[in-house]
Chains A and B, each alone.
Chain A
Amino acid sequence: MELHPFPYLFLIPLFPLLGAVVNGLFGARLQRRMGKNAVHALAIAMPWASFAVAATAFATLAGLSGESAVHQSLWPWFSIGQFNADMAFSMDRLSGVMTLIVTFVGSLIHVYSTGYMHDEQSYWRFFAYLNLFMFAMLVLVLGDSFLTMFVGWEGVGLCSYLLISFWYKDSKNAAAGMKAFVVNRVGDAGFLIGLALLIWALFPENLTGLSFREVQEVVTNPAVRDRLLSSEVFGVGLVSLICVLFFVGATGKSAQIPLYVWLPDAMAGPTPVSALIHAATMVTAGVYMVARLNFLFALSPAAMTVVATVGALTAIFAATIGLFQYDIKKVLAYSTVSQLGFMFMAVGVGAYWVGIFHLMTHAFFKACLFLGAGSVIMGCHHEQDMRHMGGLSKLMPVTAITYLLACFAIAGFPFFSGFFSKDEILWKVFDTGNLLLPGGGKLLWLLGALAAVCTSFYMFRSYYLTFSGAYRGHGYPHESPRSVTFVLSILGILSVVGGYVGLPILWGLPNWFEHWLEPVFEPSAPFILSAGGTHATEWTLMLASVGIALAGFLAARWLYKGAANPVPARLLSSPNPALRFVHRLVFNKYYVDEAYQAAFVRKSLDLSRVLYRFDQGVIDFIVNACGTVSRFFSAIQGWIDYRLVDGMVNGVATLMVTGGRVLKVTQTGRIQSYVYGIMGGAIALVVAAWWLY
């Protein structure tokens, strides 16, 4: 792999950082003195500037050979023995694509936000956070080493926290932000352990640093690879364990089972945030990471199976929850979780480029959907319940059309962007030879197909509930300002044409996207196996995909168009206990939140209280008891000292005093009594002398 120095790479993350710092420190004053325009002029200019630099870098990259990367090392960050990581950025073909997506969609959403957040008091704070997010996301994507990426990885988590709890005066929003951060941390813990395992497996193999490039070079060495594959830790294959742990990190960031719970709650944040962070960019970081580590994941069929299975389960699981939601943002949130599941299915079966392809198309149509939903929410005076919408297609035509286009894309209608990526995923899953499951990928394909039906259904359900029939809410909905519709139009167009960079080879058309990413995934290519499906199978599956999309669409149209069909209402009020049970179970998201709350949150809090009581009641009690016992013994000793030892000293004095008091009686002060005494004494002496001698 060649490194091509590119001295302006650091500008890509730097610009948004500058914007964040300036708006963060001086934004309040700026807004007060010069108005909101000054705030957003800066905040919008910065990501566009990043986009410009990124495009230049991308152009440079396009002129280089496939394995090359443009690179810039800023300063040494860690350097302890073999543990080397520079604060360095590098853009290879994969991170190039990601950078373009992030800067482009991010910039668009900045523009959109000027309209959406127009009435917000702390406008500056929003844009500061948004810029900070762009910085972190770009560090994540461009980071040259595991640790640099981790800066972005946690940085986006922080920004996500800040933005979800942006309207912090409502406790619920703040709690949602907290949840997002803590759940992500669970994943990060897995990431850290995985990294620890990896580096200590590679240090004996003369790993010189923590950059992806160096790790890849060591791992792709066949001798090292064989040693790695044959070593075990804790009774599990080393590589599998490493990959699974990294994937735990990915499940946190990318909202997969079991760590997906934060994402639906994250909808508490402003809608542009949901579009940017919780749909288009941040949540795809896990997919990006797995693709980036393809040389590792491809070595372990077990890990690939885990990734693909979790992806498929998440896809169907979230899709079913999406069926019954009424909050338009919640529908989109579960849809995001589900689509991320699709991406993991792709990277799980080794179809890395397809995962990234779906990531890109998803970024376009999901951003479009979220922003459309935001436009609707704005138009309906901050109403999010679809039961109080309806008939908006006449009142908000641009929003309706773009939303519909994006619905077609996500449902996978032919010639829309989502079709190409999703169809390719399902085909690759069907055709994989890498999974350890019975029947290869067929079971997962079935789950994916079911999820696709659900997707098509609930997306059109949301479209018809929102835009068809008569308006059921309060007030007068209105079309959003031009900053919003402009962005929607661009994303709507991209939802349609965004997939044309990766046209199916089956059709005899050039697939630029796969070709572009091929060198990046070259190290893993020899390990990715096909089950040997033929063109005929592929054609069949493609038709099946079309059928799936149509089936969902028709069902939704029949049930929800114009809110005229009484069937949904009748089903919901059905007295059949089985139906009611299923509905309640799915509507309440399978009670996963409640289960987690009881199993982890409550238990941790209980444990913390027990430990604190232990700390105070046992450990500190022992310390204090030592003090008390010492005081008790010293009290005894004090008594002995005071009463016995000092008592003797005082006793002598007391004796003297008492004796004196007795004897002083003789001291009368009268001379004559003394003389009597003298006389008596003399007589006594005489008598004694007489007596004795």
Chain B
Amino acid sequence: MEYQSTSTLLSWMVFTPLLGAVAILLAMAFRGTLRLEGKWMDDFARVVGVASMTAVVLMGIALYLGFDGKSTAVQFIHHFVWIREYNIEYFLGVDGVSITMVLLTAAVGFVGMLASVPWWGKLDDHHHPHFSKRRVPGYMVLFLLLQTGIMGTFCALDFFMFYMFWELMLLPMYFLIGIWGAPTRTEADGRVRGGPYAAIKFFLYTLAGSVLMLLAMIALYYTSGPATLVDGTPTQHTFNLLYLARMGQQGLFAGAAPILGMAFSKVVFVGLFIAFSIKVPMFPFHTWLPDAHVDAPTPISVILAGILLKTGAYGILRFNFSILPEAANWAAYGIAVFGAINIVYAAFVCMAQKDLKKLIAYSSVSHMGFCLLGFAAMTPQAMSGAVFVMVAHGIISPMLFLIAGVVYDRAHTRDINGFGGLASKLPEYAGITGLAFMASLGLPGLAGFVGEVLVFLGAFGSAIAGFKVLVMVSVVAVIITAAYYLWTIHRMFLGPLNEKWAGLWDMNWRERFTLYPLAVLTVLFGFYPMPLFDLMNPTLGWLVETVSRVGNIL
């Protein structure tokens, strides 16, 4: 009975979207009786969606206010025994790292929901109605389900629950990309692309990783030592992540019997790491991301880049580093190498892009490389920087995708080279795009810089000498990133106006509602990131110290 249930707030945060989804489904079932037909049903679904996400945001504020940042303990615990036969518990809680992700999920989910509400009528493509007007109730149900999945992933402290929520994210995402994404098309080189393709690719890729996670979960479960359930029942094995972490840090998994002649913790580490690195995504497992982004509707890209990718990075911290510290030390340099490749490689690939969304997608790959580099360095600065990159990228990349959505809704193309001189027609849009690009390229005073500089400076001090070289290589990305963003601005906004787009119009209030809050957060965290550091520093400092103390004993 070590951990006390203290609050049901997290359960409400996780399941409020699900309740909303159920409400919409019920309304659909009884729409004849309730006289909710056609447009009314759509509006009902939208209202329920926005209301659910608003409630989650409000609860997020309550969570932030109630969280004790000085403690490294898990807080806001809500737990009970769920499936006694297999020692599976319902166990939610947040520590300094996951609370940042929970807050981010609430905020980005809310913005994504706003972006799913159509504002006025000029959105439709020639042949294809705007995604926000097609099958609205279904969209909202899946969107809310997705939110539950993501939120649950960040809050779950039981491996089985985590796995369940992890899989729960996939299903709605599959349909959201497949149905509301771009229709299937054949590209110039004969490849068939489009929403359905991207959705299948995303689903299968992640699922392939999940299989490894499942195996790792089972292996960890049967290797884990005795523990107690939350009601005090003693058990032989446990799924409880807090117990697993403690056992791992005490060396239980380092000394476990080898699998197929290889050290137990190395095998499990690699299995888990591949599962998570697909989601991050890490080179060479990243190619699902550009396809998924390009063909997903705007709010889904927002969710995908803003929070879904973070589940991978979060998993690496929560599982690989916390439970298998010795293997983390063993793999650190390899992870960092892949991180550096991510950063530089994706930055170069960005420069070759002609599709705005694809460029942003690859820039996400580049920026998530900072997380890997920062984690692997295992200095307090780099670790905090990496988690900060997760938050900063979670704010900036939604902006970027919303920006891509704004221009796509008007021009029905994302071909960067096809624009030109838009700044004179859409000054406000050009301004906010400039801000977002600057934030993404790490201009000091904006959120992107804080994380990046901490990762660079922090990783330089890693105990492993090779990190210095990696940092120097990665710093090249600072130049390349600036080059491709400025070049994009140049091609889209500057130069003489392309007369084809003389009829475009500047931003509307729906777009302002989604973009300005994120812009404000970007500037705020750029100049005043301490609230976030206050949340995560104790936990991360403790983690770094614990992992370093274990050392590479394999």
Contacts and interface: CB of A to CB of B under 8 A. Distances in A.
A and B touch in the complex (CB under 8 A): yes
Interface of A: 24, 28, 75-81, 83, 87, 147, 150-151, 153-155, 158, 161, 165, 168-171, 174-175, 177-178, 181-182, 185-186, 188-189, 192-193, 195-197, 199-200, 203, 233-234, 604-605, 607-609, 611-612, 615-616, 619-620, 622-623, 627
B479 A196 contact: no
A30 to B, nearest CB: 14
B537 A200 contact: no
Q: Which 7 residue pairs of A and B lie closest in terms of their CB atoms, listed nearest first?
A: A174-B494, A196-B460, A612-B352, A608-B351, A171-B495, A620-B287, A151-B444
A199 B457 contact: yes
B541 interface: yes
Nearest to A28: B427
A196 B456 contact: yes
B340 to A, nearest CB: 14
B205 A153 contact: no
Contacts of A619: 283-284, 286-287
Nearest to B526: A151
A158 B482 CA distance: 11
Nearest to B456: A192
Contacts of B476: 189
Contacts of A203: 461
B306 interface: no
B478 A189 contact: yes
B528 A192 contact: no
Interface stretch (B111-119, B214-222, B230-238, B485-493): B485-493
B450 interface: yes
B493 A181 contact: no
Nearest to B537: A80
Contacts of B466: none
A174 B490 contact: yes
B351 A604 contact: yes
Nearest to B284: A619
A165 B384 CA distance: 36
Contact of B353 (A147, A165, A182, A612): A612
B418 interface: no
A199 B367 CA distance: 24
A242 B73 CA distance: 40
A619 B205 CA distance: 13
A239 to B, nearest CB: 16
Contacts of B345: 611
Contacts of B468: 233-234
B458 interface: yes
Q: Is the interface of B mostly helix, strand, loop or mixed?
A: helix
Contacts of B530: 75-77, 79
Contacts of A627: 201, 204
Nearest to B544: A81
A493 B443 CA distance: 39
Contacts of B443: 154-155, 158
Interface residues of B, number: 63
A75 B478 contact: no
Given A83-B454, A83-B457, A154 B444 contact: yes
A168 B286 CA distance: 36
B438 interface: yes
B471 interface: yes
Contacts of A607: 348
B288 interface: yes
Interface in B452-484: 453-454, 456-458, 460-461, 468, 471-472, 475-476, 478-480, 482-484
B486 A612 contact: no
Contacts of B501: none
B380 interface: yes
Contacts of A83: 380-381, 454, 457-458
Interface string B372-384: 0000000011001
Nearest to B286: A619
Contacts of A605: 351-352
Nearest to A149: B444
A127 B284 CA distance: 47
Contact of B453 (A87, A147, A608): A147
25 contacts: A78-B450, A78-B529, A79-B530, A79-B533, A79-B537, A83-B454, A150-B453, A154-B443, A174-B490, A182-B479, A182-B486, A185-B483, A186-B479, A189-B479, A193-B460, A199-B457, A608-B348, A608-B352, A609-B352, A611-B352, A612-B353, A619-B286, A623-B205, A623-B287, A627-B201
A182 B482 contact: yes
A196 B450 CA distance: 14
A178 B421 contact: no
B483 A193 contact: no
A188 B201 contact: no
Interface string B349-375: 111110000000000000000000000
B527 interface: yes
Contact of A169 (B353, B421, B490): B421
Nearest to B486: A178
Contacts of A161: 486
Given A80-B537, A193-B471, 14 more contacts: A78-B454, A78-B529, A80-B541, A83-B380, A154-B445, A169-B421, A171-B495, A182-B479, A189-B475, A203-B461, A608-B350, A608-B351, A609-B352, A627-B201
Contacts of B480: 604, 608
Contact of B475 (A165, A174, A193): A193
Contacts of A612: 348-349, 352-353
Contacts of A192: 453, 456-457, 475, 478
B454 A80 contact: yes
B496 interface: yes
Given A79-B530, A604-B351, A608-B349, A185 B482 contact: yes
A612 B288 CA distance: 14
Given A169-B424, A611-B349, A78 B533 contact: yes
Contacts of A154: 443-445, 449
B252 interface: no
Contact of B478 (A150, A188, A196): A188
A153 B453 CA distance: 14
Interface in B372-428: 380-381, 384, 421, 423-424, 427
Contact of B445 (A78, A151, A174, A233): A151
Contacts of B444: 147, 150-151, 153-155
A623 B533 contact: no
A610 to B, nearest CB: 8
A493 B346 CA distance: 54
Contact of A611 (B348, B421, B460, B529): B348
B19 interface: no
Given A171-B494, A185-B479, A196 B457 contact: yes
B482 A181 contact: yes
Residue of B287, B457, B533 ringed by the most chain A CB atoms within 10 A: B457
Contacts of B36: none
A175 B490 contact: yes
A606 B283 CA distance: 20
